[in-house]
Structure 1
Amino acid sequence: MIRFNSDYTEGCHPAILERLAATNMEQTPGYGEDVYCAAAAEQIKEACAAPEAAVHFLVGGTQTNVTVISAALRHYQGVITAVTGHINVHETGALESCGHKCLTIETADGKLTAEQIAAYTDAHYADASFEHTVQPKMVYISNPTEIGTIYKKAELEAIYDVCKERGLYLFLDGARLGYGLTCRENDLTLADVAALTDVFYIGGTKVGALFGEAVVITNEELKRDFRYNMKQRGGMLAKGRLLGIQFLTLFEEKRYFEISAHASRLAEKIHDELKDMGVKFYVDSPSNQQFVILPDAVLEKLKDDFAFEYQARVDDTHSAVRICTCWATKEENVEALLAALRGLLR
């Protein structure tokens, strides 16, 4: 079985395993106060061109989203998100169980626009009874989005400007950030992301690490007491060095970007060759997630050899599935998939 259903089916980059083994019997302080976390934080700040940023390491994406958002908001405040946003659809109401409402906006492509954010916020305060409804205080976006689309620099600039004008924090979920930054349509850098958000995170779980996300905070208000919130939300890992070692290994020698680019190149190969075969796409995604529409009969014949993530029913005889590449995807597995589809679609 060749799995294209997600981007975290493999373990981690071999260099991380080697380093974890080499440092296994070292004694270090706990809770992220070790030399490896400190060195990894410096590597990340340098890559972000943000020397004053605060960098913290957490274990997983849902935990990171809940910790960041609940740390930023008061109990009567909520977070604006696309209706397809991960915090709204794929985290079992984790954020709302902490008392913060997802304030959803319908989007055509999974991306929020500056105009939508302005309109939503302005409408809240234009209502005479605004104090009876949840106050918007943060905007949540992800790059890539839940459906693989990416933000361009001009879009992120416009969103950040609106957030500053209306007193909103901007939080970018970067669970797949490496794949967004290395796809061919991207015009953002990591430094741009740091400069145009209040807080974001660099995903490791989906991009080469065994587990872990690196939170980067540039807004001074949000830096204060963040570790208290980490501890309260179960995010302060006792053996914190396990996270520091992984991110240090990923960011040394630009390994994070190199392995992300590998996934992006293979996703682009799948996209281009399927397009040449006449395959239609459910979403026009430039990133490592490709959403393709295939006949049910073809999917039935592929199911014993390839795994995909079901996305949606398109019509009586066609379904949309997600094909994911990742840092560990083998070129020969991509070739096997394409060869199988050529034969079945001929």
Structure 2
Amino acid sequence: MYSFQNDYSEGMQPAILRALETINYHQNHSYGQDIHSDAARDYIQEALEDFSVDIHFIAGGTLTNLTFISHILKPFEAVISAETGHINTHETGAIEATGHKVCPVLTKDGKLTPDLIRPVLDMHENEHWVDPRLVYVSNPTEVGTVYTKEELEDLYAFCKRHDLYFYIDGARLAAALAAKEETHLTFPDLPKLCDAFYIGGTKVGAMFGEALVLVNENFKERFRFNMKQKGAILAKGWFLGVQFEELFKNNLYIEAGAHSIAMMKPIKEAFEKAGIPLLCEAPTNQIFPIFPNALADEINKKYLTTFQCKPDKDHTCLRFCTSWATNENAVKDFVEDFEEMCNRLL
């Protein structure tokens, strides 16, 4: 069965595999203070056109989020997130386990706006509540939608007016940047739009790893102490450095995001042709079509997908996700199979 479950089912970019093999018997300094991690930081700073940011490589997204959030917040401070936000739904209470409440906000498309954040601030009016201090967004969101540059500018301006920190989870940042026609985003924009963000590697063909970028000067001091305490410093940290070296050579990072989106396009077009609605409009490598139950069951007999929700008793919403390694022939096969299923069942 071919899998459209997620964008991390395959191993790693061939360039990364070759690079790791090449350095396998080289001796390196430990704990992320090696020449490869330094080179990767240089590559990223050059892409961002900002040499003032601090960059830390961490093995995974949940670990990145909990290490960062636990470092910057006081014990009584909390995080505002969309209800669908990864820290609220898929991190096993990791943020709460560090002592910080997540304040979820119901949204129609997975995206926060100033108008949605304002009532949370109004509610938490004094010291008898937690104090919301950080606004967390994912770009792309967990339902495949994207924030535009203009929307991020509005959010960051709102946060600064209300003395809030603004943090972008970039697990699939490559897709947001590759969807530039919709987002208007480039790498150099990012340090100007938030206090911190991370550049996801796991979902673009790294074996593992994310690059946390600290923009706000207040976050930088002693950050590695918190990393160590949270288990976020690898002894063999150069494995992370090498991977980001390769991802930031020859535009590989953006190309990986672009490929994942290109592989989703024929699938999305097939759904549109068949009149299958989407949970919300999504221009990236994740879409959430809503099928009649019988059609969803038929699809899942031949292909792996992820169950999202039941909009009603007669329909099932599935997540389809393509990746940096999705095979074009597999996409063509799915489209042909789907058309046959529609002719038979619809």
Q: TM-score range by the shorter chain?
A: over 0.9
Aligned residue for 2:91?
A: 91
Aligned residue for 2:156?
A: 160
Q: Secondary structure at the match of 1:133?
A: coil
Q: Say if 1:118 and 1:162, in contact at 8 Å, map to a contact too.
A: no
The structural deviation recorded for 1:123 is: 4.0
1:316-337 residue CA offsets vs partner (Å, 9 max, x unmatched): 3321100001101011111111
The structural deviation recorded for 1:314 is: 2.7
- Report the AA paired with residue 131 of structure 1: E
Aligned residue for 2:67?
A: 67
Q: Say if 1:57 and 1:215, in contact at 8 Å, map to a contact too.
A: yes
Aligned residue for 2:37?
A: 37
Aligned residue for 1:140?
A: 136
- Report the AA paired with residue 138 of structure 1: L
Aligned residue for 2:219?
A: 222
Task: Work out whether 1:315 is the aligned partner of 2:312.
Answer: yes
Q: Secondary structure at the match of 1:253?
A: coil
Whole-angstrom CA distance in 2 between matches of 1:345 and 1:133:
52
CA root-mean-square deviation:
1.1
Whole-angstrom CA distance in 2 between matches of 1:155 and 1:123:
24
Q: Say if 1:169 and 1:198, in contact at 8 Å, map to a contact too.
A: yes
Task: Work out whether 1:327 is the aligned partner of 2:336.
Answer: no
- Report the AA paired with residue 326 of structure 1: S
Whole-angstrom CA distance in 1 between matches of 2:144 and 2:67:
24
Whole-angstrom CA distance in 1 between matches of 2:314 and 2:157:
45
Q: What pairs with 1:169-248 in structure 2 (closer than 5 Å)?
A: 169-183=165-179, 184-248=181-245
Aligned residue for 2:335?
A: 338
- Report the AA paired with residue 44 of structure 2: I
Of 2-11 and 261-270, more deviation after overlay is shown by 261-270
Q: What pairs with 1:212-291 in structure 2 (closer than 5 Å)?
A: 212-291=209-288
TM-score w.r.t. the length of structure 2 is: 0.96
1:195-250 residue CA offsets vs partner (Å, 9 max, x unmatched): 11100000011111000000011100011111111101100011000000000000
Aligned residue for 2:292?
A: 295
The structural deviation recorded for 1:122 is: 4.0
Whole-angstrom CA distance in 2 between matches of 1:173 and 1:193:
12
- Report the AA paired with residue 154 of structure 1: E
Q: Say if 2:48 and 2:188, in contact at 8 Å, map to a contact too.
A: yes
Distance 1:209 1:120, change over 3 A: same
Whole-angstrom CA distance in 2 between matches of 1:290 and 1:116:
24
Q: Say if 2:270 and 2:339, in contact at 8 Å, map to a contact too.
A: no
Q: Structure 1 residue runs of 4+, over 6 Å off?
A: none
Aligned residue for 1:8?
A: 8
The structural deviation recorded for 1:6 is: 0.7
Q: Say if 2:83 and 2:107, in contact at 8 Å, map to a contact too.
A: yes
1:72-116 residue CA offsets vs partner (Å, 9 max, x unmatched): 101010111111111011111011011000011111111000222
Aligned residue for 2:102?
A: 102
Gaps of 5+ in 1: none
- Report the AA paired with residue 108 of structure 1: K
